[in-house]
Structure 1
Amino acid sequence: MGISIWQLLIILAIVLVIFGAKRLKNVGSDLGGAIKGFKKAVSEDDEKKAADQATAEGQKNIAADQKSDNVFDAQATEKKTETDADSQKPKV
């Protein structure tokens, strides 16, 4: 007990008479633009999620590398004091 093709054609004819062809054309183009915008927003959201996941994984890898590298690489230098500098001067 569905709607037959003849019933759909009658409904379409009534809508065409009520709204007019020009107005239906505008409604169709507006609906198409809305669907296109929705698809674009969904794809941008998916791309953003993928980029966020990649960034999070990169940060996890960096954190893991930092935890395993608990070695400090430093070079000690000796600071000469004035007394050391005076003792190395030639005496006149």
Structure 2
Amino acid sequence: MKTLIRAGVLACAMAAGVGASMQAAAQPPENIGAAVFNKKGSLLLPQGYRQWVFIGAPLTPHGLNNGKAGFPEFHHVYVNPDA
């Protein structure tokens, strides 16, 4: 009986190892949203940007930056789900 249990545990461990190695070997997409600009130098909106995931809305502490932070005080941050 103990041999059967050990064999089952070993089989599960091997299956988990194979699954983990397959996941690690998966190739990411070649281009997951590099910035693209038009001929005038304006940034083009990426395709599918409306499906991006909202990850937060940080508040910039202007008091700590002498009121001169390099970005808006309040802004939303989205991430491409393929990233």
Using the size of structure 1 for normalisation, the TM-score is 0.33
- Give 1 or 2: higher helix fraction: 1
* Bigger radius of gyration among the two: 1
Determine which structure has greater relative contact order: mean sequence separation of CA pairs < 8 Å that are 6+ residues apart, divided by chain length. Answer: 2
